[in-house]
Amino acid sequence: MPAPPTPRRAAEEMNPYRIALQQLDHVAGILKLDEGVHGILRMPKRELTVHFPVSMTSGGTQMFTGYRVQHNTSRGPAKGGLRFHPETDIDEVRALAMWMTWKCAVVNIPFGGAKGGVVCDPKALTRAELEDLTRRYTTEISLIIGPDSDIPAPDVGTNGQIMAWLMDTYSMHAGHTVPAVVTGKPVAIGGSEGRVDATGLGVVLVTEQAFRQEGKSLDSTTVAVCGFGNVGGAAARLFHKRGAKVVAVSDVRGGVADAGGLDIPALVAHVQRTGSVVGFPGADAVSLSDVLETPCDVLVPAALQGQITGANADKIRARMIVEGANGPTTPEADAVLKDKGVLLIPDILANAGGVTVSYFEWVQDIQSFFWSEAQVNARLARVMKRAFGEVWAAAEMHRVDLRTAAYIVGVARVAEATLTRGIYP
């Protein structure tokens, strides 16, 4: 039996930027990527770190640190979410920015990749502090964001209200309203119909495509969802609506399970009332690892990165994993799951529904012409179906797993754009 990793080695293995680079290097070999282009794609184009004060409600000021990283803009303006989390750091933001570049290329929308983060616990801040923090961070990064350069969106710990404050702050500086500077805004100020559920809907749509390959439907399929936030909550609701049985869900505080299928609309109401899935009447209380290890057809990790690792991958009892979160599975876990025959639909395809409808929102804002929810969802379904088909075809052609195939599709498109534009000057 191998010796357990030292804490430092274990931390390195979990470093998301190391993982993102490892994934890129793997396909660079398969694609026989030009060495110069490979070097360009390994590094973020631009990184901004800001330290700024916020006046606290209880008196005094507190310093906060924030980041905005633009990985690549060869295919269009940088695009990516904004995360408020106490443990975010520059390497996490770099990895998330790189994953955004590949994701936008996989669904073939004209954006590059970016990500932002502020080291804070949004739940520990008052509403006034959260608003001031958002407005000051926006001002600090306004040097590099804009509707033509870099367009933020919600991610872990942020939501439509925070996007509204970001849009308002940017607009106040510009002297006029600039809705297209941010996506994931409320519909009342230029947000898109369908954006709130878009990532969860994308997860369900690619799962449906994978089932179709086997001649099956989602009806009576069993699903477990780890993380019951924007992505996981919507995915659970939409799986339930399509006749699937959601048998276990978790959030940061714990899990609940019911082998007969949870009543998801009632669970959503419980979460709205109490703030957590924990204590849902009639369901069994289970641990976070119980939910990950639930026997089911489909497991949707939808919390943070590093949920499925070399340490727990062999305990996974799902037939299929659909990555709602970014980077939930480490390369060590990928290898174990492949050996076990688990079909894994990777994050840069599975959760691309969010950025796709963000792209639709940006287009609608620029044109000042808005679409119905049915139009948005139909266009999203077309994009996800096409992207799934292209990734599936690449997997068959190169005889590789779906993560490698998605990287082949995404990285090849970004490399082509980089080479076609040429190296300036």
Point out the residues that are catalytic.
Answer: 115
- Whole-number Å distance between alpha carbons of 241 and 198: 15
**Residue (184 or 190) nearer to ligand NAD, CB:** 184
CB of 234 to ligand NAD, least distance (A): 8
CB of 39 to ligand NAD, least distance (A): 27
By the 8 A CB rule, do 147 and 366 touch? yes
**Residue (228 or 239) nearer to ligand NAD, CB:** 228
**Residue (33 or 205) nearer to ligand NAD, CB:** 205
CB of 83 to ligand NAD, least distance (A): 7
CB of 176 to ligand NAD, least distance (A): 27
Tell me which residues touch ligand NAD (CB under 6 A): 154-157, 199, 226-232, 250-252, 288, 302-304, 324-326, 351, 354
- Decide: residue 194, CB within 10 A, 0-12 exposed, 13-18 middle, 19+ buried: buried
Residue with smallest beta-carbon separation from ligand NAD:
229
Six token digits for residue 75: 């295919």
CB of 370 to ligand NAD, least distance (A): 20
**Residue (28 or 350) nearer to ligand NAD, CB:** 350
CB of 89 to ligand NAD, least distance (A): 15
The amino acid occupying position 344 is: L
**Residue (129 or 251) nearer to ligand NAD, CB:** 251
**Residue (77 or 81) nearer to ligand NAD, CB:** 81
Q: Mapped to the 3 state alphabet, what secondary structure does the chain carry?
A: CCCCCCHHHHHHHHCHHHHHHHHHHHHHHHHCCCHHHHHHHHCCCEEEEEEEEEECCCCCEEEEEEEEEEEECCCCCEEEEEEECCCCCHHHHHHHHHHHHHHHHHCCCCCEEEEEEECCCHHHCCHHHHHHHHHHHHHHHCCCCECCCEEEEECCCCCHHHHHHHHHHHHHHHCCCCHHHCCCCCHHHCCCCCHHHHHHHHHHHHHHHHHHHCCCCCCCCEEEEECCCHHHHHHHHHHHHCCCEEEEEEECCEEEECCCCCCHHHHHHHHHHHCCCCCCCCCEEECHHHHHCCCEEEEEECCCCCCECCCCHHHCCEEEEECCCCCCECHHHHHHHHHHCCEEECHHHHCCHHHHHHHHHHHHHHHCCCCCHHHHHHHHHHHHHHHHHHHHHHHHHHCCCHHHHHHHHHHHHHHHHHHHHCCCC
**Residue (28 or 200) nearer to ligand NAD, CB:** 200
CB of 108 to ligand NAD, least distance (A): 17
